Chains A and B, each alone.
Chain A
Amino acid sequence: MKAQAKEADERLLIEAAQKDPARFVELYEENFERVYAFVSRRVDSRADVEDITAEVFHQALANIAKFEWRGVPFAAWLYRIAANAIADRWQRASREQGNPGSDATDRSESFDVEKSERAARLFGLVNKLPEDQRRVIEMRFAEEKSIREIAQTLGRTPGAVKQLQFRGIQSLRAQFEKEPGKKLSRSHG
Chain B
Amino acid sequence: MANQTQGEQLDKVIERLLGPAAAPLSPADTARTFDVTLAPVIEIIRDLKNLPRPDFRTRLKTDVERRASMASSAKAVEAVRTTVTPYLSVRDAAAAIEFYKKAFGATEVARLMQPDGRVGHAEINIDGARIMLADEFPEIGFRSPESLGGSPVNIHLDVPDVDAVARRALAAGAKVVRPVADQFYGDRSGQLSDPFGYTWTVSTHKETLTIEEMQRRMDQMSRQERSISAPAPVKFIREGFHTITPYLIISGAAQWIDFVKQAFDAEEYFRAKRPDAEDVIMHAEVKIGDSMIELADANPQFPAMPSTLLLRVDDPDAVYNRALEAGATVMQPIADAPYGSRGGTVLDVAGNRLHISKPIGAGLDIFKGFRSVTPHLYAQRPVDLIEFLQRAFGGEETYRAEMPDGSIPHAQVRIGDSIVALAGGHGAYTPMPTTLHLYVPDTDSVYEQALRAGATSLQPPADQPYGDRSAGVTDPFGNRWFIATHIRDVQM
Say yes or no for B44: interface residue by CB 8 A criterion. yes
Bound-state CA distance A170–B54 (Å) is 21
Q: Which residues of A1-56 have CB atoms within 8 Å of chain B's CB atoms?
A: 20-25, 28-29, 32-33, 36-37, 40-41, 46, 49-50, 53-54
> Does B8 contact A162, Cβ atoms closer than 8 Å?
yes
Given A32-B60, A122-B44, CB of A142 within 8 Å of CB of B51? yes
> Does B48 contact A141, Cβ atoms closer than 8 Å?
yes
**0 or 1 for each of B63-101: is its CB under 8 Å from A? (1 = yes):** 111011101100110000000000000000000000000
Which chain B residues lie closer than 8 Å to A61 at the CB level?
64, 67-68, 71
Given A28-B61, A144-B18, A163-B7, CB of A21 within 8 Å of CB of B72? yes
Q: Which secondary structure dominates chain B's binding surface?
A: helix
Bound-state CA distance A57–B63 (Å) is 10
> Does A137 contact B48, Cβ atoms closer than 8 Å?
yes
Bound-state CA distance A33–B54 (Å) is 11
Given A119-B47, A173-B41, CB of A54 within 8 Å of CB of B63? yes
- With both beta carbons as reference points, the residue of chain A lying nearest to B45 in the complex is identified as A169
> Does B14 contact A165, Cβ atoms closer than 8 Å?
yes
Q: Which of A57, A122, A147, A169 has the most CB of B within 10 A?
A: A169
> Does A25 contact B64, Cβ atoms closer than 8 Å?
yes
Given A32-B60, A162-B11, CB of A21 within 8 Å of CB of B71? yes
Q: Which residues of A93-143 have CB atoms within 8 Å of chain B's CB atoms?
A: 118-119, 122-123, 126, 137-138, 140-143
> Does B64 contact A169, Cβ atoms closer than 8 Å?
no
Bound-state CA distance A23–B75 (Å) is 12
Given A20-B75, A122-B48, CB of A25 within 8 Å of CB of B61? yes
> Does B53 contact A143, Cβ atoms closer than 8 Å?
yes
Say yes or no for B32: interface residue by CB 8 A criterion. no
Which chain A residues lie closer than 8 Å to B63 at the CB level?
54
- With both beta carbons as reference points, the residue of chain B lying nearest to A47 in the complex is identified as B56
Q: Which of A28, A33, A159 contacts B52 (CB 8 A)?
A: A33
Interface size class of B (residues with CB under 8 A): 35 or more
Bound-state CA distance A37–B46 (Å) is 12
Given A22-B69, A53-B60, A147-B11, CB of A141 within 8 Å of CB of B75? no
> Does A163 contact B52, Cβ atoms closer than 8 Å?
no
> Does B14 contact A140, Cβ atoms closer than 8 Å?
yes
Cβ-Cβ contact count across A and B, 8 Å cutoff: 115
Which chain B residues lie closer than 8 Å to A75 at the CB level?
none
Which chain A residues lie closer than 8 Å to B14 at the CB level?
140, 165
> Does B50 contact A22, Cβ atoms closer than 8 Å?
no
CB distance from A112 to the nearest CB of B (A): 12
Say yes or no for B491: interface residue by CB 8 A criterion. no
CB distance from A47 to the nearest CB of B (A): 10
- With both beta carbons as reference points, the residue of chain A lying nearest to B10 in the complex is identified as A166
Bound-state CA distance A143–B52 (Å) is 8
Given A54-B63, A159-B4, CB of A40 within 8 Å of CB of B50? yes
> Does B72 contact A165, Cβ atoms closer than 8 Å?
no
CB distance from A70 to the nearest CB of B (A): 23
> Does A141 contact B51, Cβ atoms closer than 8 Å?
yes
CB distance from B249 to the nearest CB of A (A): 72
Which chain A residues lie closer than 8 Å to B61 at the CB level?
25, 28-29, 32
Given A25-B68, A54-B63, CB of A169 within 8 Å of CB of B10? yes
Say yes or no for B215: interface residue by CB 8 A criterion. no
Say yes or no for B26: interface residue by CB 8 A criterion. no
Say yes or no for B426: interface residue by CB 8 A criterion. no
Say yes or no for A58: interface residue by CB 8 A criterion. yes
Bound-state CA distance A50–B8 (Å) is 32
Given A20-B75, A141-B51, CB of A166 within 8 Å of CB of B60? no
Q: Which residues of A52-94 have CB atoms within 8 Å of chain B's CB atoms?
A: 53-54, 57-58, 61-62
**0 or 1 for each of B1-40: is its CB under 8 Å from A? (1 = yes):** 0011011101100100010000000000000000000001
CB distance from B281 to the nearest CB of A (A): 65
Say yes or no for B57: interface residue by CB 8 A criterion. yes
Say yes or no for B368: interface residue by CB 8 A criterion. no
- With both beta carbons as reference points, the residue of chain B lying nearest to A62 in the complex is identified as B71
> Does A32 contact B75, Cβ atoms closer than 8 Å?
no
Q: Which of B14, B51, B54, B76 has the most CB of A within 10 A?
A: B51
> Does B51 contact A54, Cβ atoms closer than 8 Å?
no
> Does A20 contact B52, Cβ atoms closer than 8 Å?
no
CB distance from B39 to the nearest CB of A (A): 11
Bound-state CA distance A57–B57 (Å) is 12
CB distance from A79 to the nearest CB of B (A): 16
Q: Which of A40, A54, A170 has the most CB of B within 10 A?
A: A170
CB distance from A115 to the nearest CB of B (A): 8
Q: Which residues of A159-177 have CB atoms within 8 Å of chain B's CB atoms?
A: 159, 162-163, 165-166, 169-170, 172-173, 176
Which chain B residues lie closer than 8 Å to A144 at the CB level?
18
Bound-state CA distance A163–B57 (Å) is 26
Which chain B residues lie closer than 8 Å to A22 at the CB level?
68-69, 71-72
CB distance from A25 to the nearest CB of B (A): 5
> Does A159 contact B53, Cβ atoms closer than 8 Å?
no
Which chain B residues lie closer than 8 Å to A126 at the CB level?
48, 51
> Does B54 contact A21, Cβ atoms closer than 8 Å?
no
**0 or 1 for each of B236-251: is its CB under 8 Å from A? (1 = yes):** 0000000000000000
Bound-state CA distance A20–B18 (Å) is 43
> Does B50 contact A119, Cβ atoms closer than 8 Å?
yes
User: Can you spell out 19 A-B residue pairs with CB atoms less than 8 angstroms apart?
Assistant: A28-B61, A29-B61, A40-B50, A50-B52, A53-B52, A61-B71, A119-B50, A123-B51, A137-B48, A141-B51, A142-B53, A159-B4, A162-B8, A162-B11, A165-B7, A166-B7, A169-B41, A169-B48, A176-B44
Besides the known contacts A54-B60, A57-B60, A119-B50, 18 further A-B residue pairs in the complex with CB atoms under 8 A apart: A20-B76, A21-B69, A21-B71, A22-B71, A28-B61, A32-B61, A33-B52, A40-B50, A41-B50, A58-B64, A58-B67, A142-B52, A163-B4, A165-B7, A166-B11, A169-B10, A169-B48, A172-B48
Chain B residues with CB under 8 Å of chain A are 3-4, 6-8, 10-11, 14, 18, 40-41, 44-45, 47-54, 56-57, 60-61, 63-65, 67-69, 71-72, 75-76
